[in-house]
Amino acid sequence: MKWILAITVLLAPLSASALNANLDRLTLMSEITLAGKPAVVFYLGSDVEENYCSISATKDYVLNANGQLLNIKRDQPEFDVSCNWDGEYYVLSSNHITRAEVVFIKSTKNTPMAIRLNAMLTTTKGELATFNSPNIDVVAK
Protein backbone atom coordinates (compact mmCIF):
# COMPACT_ATOMS: atom_id res chain seq x y z
CA MET A 1 0.00 0.00 0.00
CA LYS A 2 2.81 2.45 0.77
CA TRP A 3 4.35 1.71 -2.63
CA ILE A 4 1.15 2.65 -4.48
CA LEU A 5 0.83 5.82 -2.41
CA ALA A 6 4.42 6.79 -3.28
CA ILE A 7 3.71 6.43 -7.00
CA THR A 8 0.59 8.58 -6.70
CA VAL A 9 2.51 11.33 -4.91
CA LEU A 10 5.27 11.17 -7.51
CA LEU A 11 2.87 11.49 -10.47
CA ALA A 12 0.70 14.24 -9.03
CA PRO A 13 3.10 17.14 -9.81
CA LEU A 14 3.52 15.94 -13.41
CA SER A 15 -0.19 15.95 -14.14
CA ALA A 16 -0.82 19.19 -12.24
CA SER A 17 1.65 21.17 -14.37
CA ALA A 18 0.40 19.88 -17.73
CA LEU A 19 -1.82 22.25 -19.68
CA ASN A 20 -4.63 20.84 -21.78
CA ALA A 21 -6.05 23.75 -23.77
CA ASN A 22 -9.22 23.65 -25.84
CA LEU A 23 -9.83 25.91 -28.81
CA ASP A 24 -13.29 26.46 -30.21
CA ARG A 25 -13.27 29.18 -32.86
CA LEU A 26 -11.48 30.50 -35.94
CA THR A 27 -10.55 34.09 -35.16
CA LEU A 28 -8.61 35.09 -38.28
CA MET A 29 -7.37 33.71 -41.57
CA SER A 30 -4.69 35.56 -43.54
CA GLU A 31 -2.06 35.14 -46.26
CA ILE A 32 1.65 35.31 -45.38
CA THR A 33 5.03 34.01 -46.58
CA LEU A 34 6.60 30.93 -44.99
CA ALA A 35 9.92 29.37 -46.03
CA GLY A 36 9.97 31.94 -48.84
CA LYS A 37 6.69 30.65 -50.32
CA PRO A 38 3.08 31.90 -50.34
CA ALA A 39 1.33 30.58 -47.25
CA VAL A 40 -1.82 30.82 -45.21
CA VAL A 41 -2.19 31.30 -41.46
CA PHE A 42 -5.20 30.33 -39.34
CA TYR A 43 -5.70 31.64 -35.82
CA LEU A 44 -7.77 29.45 -33.51
CA GLY A 45 -8.96 30.92 -30.23
CA SER A 46 -10.97 30.41 -27.09
CA ASP A 47 -13.14 32.47 -24.73
CA VAL A 48 -10.06 34.40 -23.61
CA GLU A 49 -8.84 36.67 -26.41
CA GLU A 50 -5.15 36.39 -25.40
CA ASN A 51 -5.26 32.57 -25.66
CA TYR A 52 -4.84 31.40 -29.25
CA CYS A 53 -2.87 29.18 -31.61
CA SER A 54 -1.56 30.09 -35.04
CA ILE A 55 -1.30 27.49 -37.79
CA SER A 56 0.92 28.44 -40.73
CA ALA A 57 1.48 26.36 -43.86
CA THR A 58 2.63 27.00 -47.39
CA LYS A 59 -0.13 26.74 -49.96
CA ASP A 60 1.82 24.00 -51.81
CA TYR A 61 2.11 21.93 -48.62
CA VAL A 62 -1.61 22.28 -47.90
CA LEU A 63 -2.57 21.31 -51.46
CA ASN A 64 -0.28 18.24 -51.46
CA ALA A 65 -1.07 16.99 -47.94
CA ASN A 66 -4.39 15.28 -48.73
CA GLY A 67 -6.18 17.15 -45.95
CA GLN A 68 -3.76 16.25 -43.14
CA LEU A 69 -0.77 18.36 -42.08
CA LEU A 70 1.74 16.74 -39.73
CA ASN A 71 4.88 18.09 -38.07
CA ILE A 72 6.81 15.97 -35.57
CA LYS A 73 9.70 17.55 -33.68
CA ARG A 74 9.78 20.45 -36.16
CA ASP A 75 10.60 18.22 -39.13
CA GLN A 76 8.45 20.10 -41.65
CA PRO A 77 9.65 23.65 -42.51
CA GLU A 78 6.53 24.38 -44.60
CA PHE A 79 4.12 23.86 -41.68
CA ASP A 80 4.27 25.39 -38.20
CA VAL A 81 2.06 25.73 -35.13
CA SER A 82 2.60 27.97 -32.12
CA CYS A 83 0.31 28.98 -29.25
CA ASN A 84 0.08 31.83 -26.76
CA TRP A 85 -1.72 30.63 -23.65
CA ASP A 86 -2.01 32.25 -20.23
CA GLY A 87 1.08 34.37 -20.92
CA GLU A 88 3.25 31.44 -22.07
CA TYR A 89 4.48 30.86 -25.64
CA TYR A 90 4.39 27.24 -26.90
CA VAL A 91 6.17 25.98 -30.03
CA LEU A 92 7.21 22.88 -31.93
CA SER A 93 10.75 21.88 -30.98
CA SER A 94 13.38 19.57 -32.41
CA ASN A 95 14.75 19.14 -28.86
CA HIS A 96 11.53 17.87 -27.26
CA ILE A 97 8.85 15.35 -28.20
CA THR A 98 6.45 17.76 -29.86
CA ARG A 99 3.97 17.31 -32.68
CA ALA A 100 1.18 19.09 -34.48
CA GLU A 101 -1.56 17.68 -36.65
CA VAL A 102 -4.07 19.75 -38.56
CA VAL A 103 -6.88 18.06 -40.43
CA PHE A 104 -9.02 19.79 -43.04
CA ILE A 105 -12.48 18.26 -43.28
CA LYS A 106 -15.01 18.77 -46.04
CA SER A 107 -18.02 20.10 -44.24
CA THR A 108 -21.57 20.99 -45.26
CA LYS A 109 -22.74 22.82 -48.36
CA ASN A 110 -23.09 26.00 -46.26
CA THR A 111 -19.55 25.69 -44.89
CA PRO A 112 -17.19 24.14 -47.43
CA MET A 113 -14.41 23.28 -44.97
CA ALA A 114 -13.65 22.73 -41.29
CA ILE A 115 -10.28 22.61 -39.53
CA ARG A 116 -9.19 20.56 -36.49
CA LEU A 117 -5.98 20.93 -34.45
CA ASN A 118 -4.27 18.41 -32.19
CA ALA A 119 -0.85 19.48 -30.92
CA MET A 120 1.67 18.91 -28.15
CA LEU A 121 3.96 21.91 -27.87
CA THR A 122 6.63 23.12 -25.44
CA THR A 123 7.81 26.34 -23.83
CA THR A 124 11.47 27.35 -23.88
CA LYS A 125 11.61 25.90 -20.34
CA GLY A 126 10.52 22.48 -21.65
CA GLU A 127 6.98 22.62 -20.22
CA LEU A 128 4.69 20.56 -22.46
CA ALA A 129 1.06 21.37 -23.22
CA THR A 130 -1.61 19.90 -25.47
CA PHE A 131 -3.88 22.00 -27.66
CA ASN A 132 -7.03 20.53 -29.18
CA SER A 133 -10.00 21.77 -31.12
CA PRO A 134 -13.17 20.23 -32.42
CA ASN A 135 -13.97 20.63 -36.12
CA ILE A 136 -14.12 24.42 -36.55
CA ASP A 137 -15.89 25.76 -39.64
CA VAL A 138 -13.76 27.89 -41.95
CA VAL A 139 -15.91 30.62 -43.42
CA ALA A 140 -14.46 33.23 -45.78
CA LYS A 141 -15.47 36.75 -44.78
> How high is the pLDDT of residue 27?
86
> How high is the pLDDT of residue 123?
95
Give pairs for 22-29: CB < 8 Å, separation 24+: 22/46, 22/131, 22/132, 22/133, 23/52, 23/53, 23/117, 23/131, 23/132, 23/133, 23/136, 24/133, 24/134, 24/136, 25/136, 26/115, 26/136, 26/137, 26/138, 26/139, 27/52, 29/138, 29/140
pTM of the model: 0.81
Residue 3 has pLDDT above 60, yes or no: no
Residue 1 has pLDDT above 70, yes or no: no
